[in-house]
């Protein structure tokens, strides 16, 4: 016998669990299905973000930054630390504990808000009078029905063609967060947010890190001035960055990985490293969802097609977060989740895509919101830009970190702020 709900949410990442909780708070009977398993095979709601994304990466970024501060910067403040040591096992265990606290927090919030949680894979079965039938395949097999379904199945790491993640030598973001010993040499394919953050973690802990990037420069999506400054600082820190590379072969051996590629001049080159992180983007996750069972439309990238309000081609079916268009960011998924729950409740949920901030938690941090100067000029908009260096800022001097600047881009006539771009201390909090 099918269990009937007002809303079924498929996926319990930041998009899905937030949507489920908000819908329940608005008085609806809600179920959330999530298939993520912890090491013991039990439920671990929170999706990529909580389990192998934002949360564990930020835990390791903080731990490794503390290590680097103690190793290289405490002395400037007159603090001696004697002989510094690294207990990587403890650092990784701390990160796992932080993840578990977040998993447990979501389970608690589901209970508190009376969201029924189902651990397993959710897939569309058919349309029924009540709306949609959704099967749960997991520890127990269940059938649910609901008039409203929110798909929040997230994304998975993209592999290089023909190169599978073994999570031992060739690592996705998952394996990159649990390397058992600091590698002497580490390669990273892709200099996006994830590649830069994971490369920074292992460099601070002592690895020699080389990043290979297909594009001609760093951080194509950031403001040009920020990208230039970032390249200068990261190179000075010891990250080796090579641009314009075309990878032809990746071979994993027992103790190392070799990467063959053509460099920017088209010459044959190779890199031999202990471990290789591949972070070349993410693909929308619809495996096992059976969208075809109900005729749910996907685009050529495999993302679910939605309008500005996250409505799919099917009445009563919505999709949010990484599985739809737009930036793959946890807070964007959350905002869409809240807005969809409110729309289902007849309210006027709204997401302003112009004000979704980006943060890269490297050191210095990089953060921005709105458009870059180059994007605005290309669109023919008359703008003016102002830049102020942290070098001339008393708070930054007191902090002992004067790297970078804050840049504002505004409409030349009206002063409307169109973009804010920061590289430097506390960029994350400032944005």
Ligand X SMILES: Cc1cc2nc3c(=O)[nH]c(=O)nc-3n(C[C@H](O)[C@H](O)[C@H](O)COP(=O)(O)OP(=O)(O)OC[C@H]3O[C@@H](n4cnc5c(N)ncnc54)[C@H](O)[C@@H]3O)c2cc1C
Residues forming contacts to ligand X in the complex (CB under 6 A) are: 10-16, 33-36, 47-49, 53-54, 57, 121-123, 152-155, 173, 194, 285, 288-289, 321-322, 328-331, 333, 361
DSSP string spanning 84-136? ----HHHHHHHHHHHHHHHHHHHHHHHHHTTPEEEEEEEEEEEEETTEEEEEE
Rounded to a whole number of angstroms, the minimum distance from the CB of residue 224 to ligand X is 23
**Residue 246 near residue 259, CB atoms below 8 Å:** no
Burial of 401 (0-12, 13-18, 19+ CB in 10 A): middle
Rounded to a whole number of angstroms, the minimum distance from the CB of residue 301 to ligand X is 15
List all residues 6 or more positions away from 23 whose beta carbon is below 8 Å from its beta carbon.
6, 7, 9, 30, 150, 341, 344, 345
Cα separation, 307 vs 310, in Å, equals 5
DSSP string spanning 30-61? EEEEE--B-TTSSB--SHHHHHHSHHHHHHHH
Kindly tell me which of 153 and 403 has the beta carbon lying closer to ligand X.
153
Rounded to a whole number of angstroms, the minimum distance from the CB of residue 329 to ligand X is 4
Rounded to a whole number of angstroms, the minimum distance from the CB of residue 76 to ligand X is 28
Kindly tell me which of 220 and 327 has the beta carbon lying closer to ligand X.
327
Q: Which residue has the tokens 């192998």?
A: 52
Kindly tell me which of 53 and 370 has the beta carbon lying closer to ligand X.
53
Kindly tell me which of 155 and 402 has the beta carbon lying closer to ligand X.
155
Kindly tell me which of 122 and 147 has the beta carbon lying closer to ligand X.
122
Kindly tell me which of 54 and 239 has the beta carbon lying closer to ligand X.
54
Tokens standing for 45? 């709601």
Kindly tell me which of 18 and 163 has the beta carbon lying closer to ligand X.
18
**Residue 350 near residue 327, CB atoms below 8 Å:** no
Rounded to a whole number of angstroms, the minimum distance from the CB of residue 142 to ligand X is 12
- Candidates 59, 173, 401, 232; CA nearest to 67 is 59
Rounded to a whole number of angstroms, the minimum distance from the CB of residue 46 to ligand X is 7
The β-bridge relationship of strands 3-10 and 142-151 is parallel
Rounded to a whole number of angstroms, the minimum distance from the CB of residue 380 to ligand X is 31
């Amino acid at each position: 016998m099918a269990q009937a709900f007002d809303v079924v949410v498929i996926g319990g990442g930041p998009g899905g669990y937030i949507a489920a909780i908000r819908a329940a708070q608005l008085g609806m009977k809600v179920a959330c299905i999530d298939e993520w398993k912890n090491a013991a095979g039990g439920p671990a709601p929170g999706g990529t973000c909580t389990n192998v994304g934002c949360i564990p990466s930020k835990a390791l970024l903080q731990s490794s930054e503390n290590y680097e501060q103690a190793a290289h910067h405490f002395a400037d403040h007159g603090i001696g630390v004697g002989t510094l040591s690294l207990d990587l096992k403890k650092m990784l265990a701390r990160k796992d504990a932080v993840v578990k606290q977040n998993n447990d927090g979501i389970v608690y919030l589901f209970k508190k808000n009376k969201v029924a949680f189902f651990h397993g894979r959710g897939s569309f079965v058919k349309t029924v009078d009540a709306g949609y039938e959704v099967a749960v395949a997991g520890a127990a097999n269940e059938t649910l029905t609901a008039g409203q379904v929110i798909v929040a199945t997230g994304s998975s790491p993209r592999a290089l063609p023909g190169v599978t993640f073994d999570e031992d030598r060739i690592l996705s973001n998952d394996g990159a967060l649990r390397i058992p010993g600091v590698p002497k040499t580490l390669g990273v394919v892709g200099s996006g947010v994830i590649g830069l953050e994971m490369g920074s973690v292992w460099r601070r802990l002592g690895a020699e890190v080389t990043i290979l990037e297909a594009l001609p420069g760093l951080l194509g999506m950031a403001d040009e001035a920020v990208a230039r400054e970032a390249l200068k600082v990261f190179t000075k820190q010891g990250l080796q960055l090579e641009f314009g590379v075309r990878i032809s072969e990746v071979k994993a051996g027992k103790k190392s990985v070799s990467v063959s590629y053509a460099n920017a001049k088209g010459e044959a080159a190779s890199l031999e490293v202990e471990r290789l992180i591949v972070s070349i983007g993410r693909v929308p996750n619809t495996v096992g969802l059976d969208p075809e069972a109900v005729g749910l439309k996907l685009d050529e990238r495999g993302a679910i097609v939605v309008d500005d309000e996250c409505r799919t081609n099917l009445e009563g079916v919505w999709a949010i977060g990484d599985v739809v268009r737009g930036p793959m960011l946890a807070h964007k998924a959350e905002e869409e989740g809240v807005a969809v729950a409110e729309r289902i409740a007849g309210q006027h949920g709204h997401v302003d895509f112009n004000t979704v901030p980006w943060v890269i938690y490297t050191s210095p941090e990089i953060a921005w919101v709105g458009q870059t100067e180059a994007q605005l000029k290309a669109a023919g908009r008359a703008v003016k830009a102002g830049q102020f260096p942290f070098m001339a800022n008393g708070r930054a001097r007191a902090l002992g970190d004067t790297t970078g600047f804050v840049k504002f881009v505004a409409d030349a006539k009206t002063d409307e702020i169109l973009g804010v771009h920061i590289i430097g201390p506390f960029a994350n909090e400032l944005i």
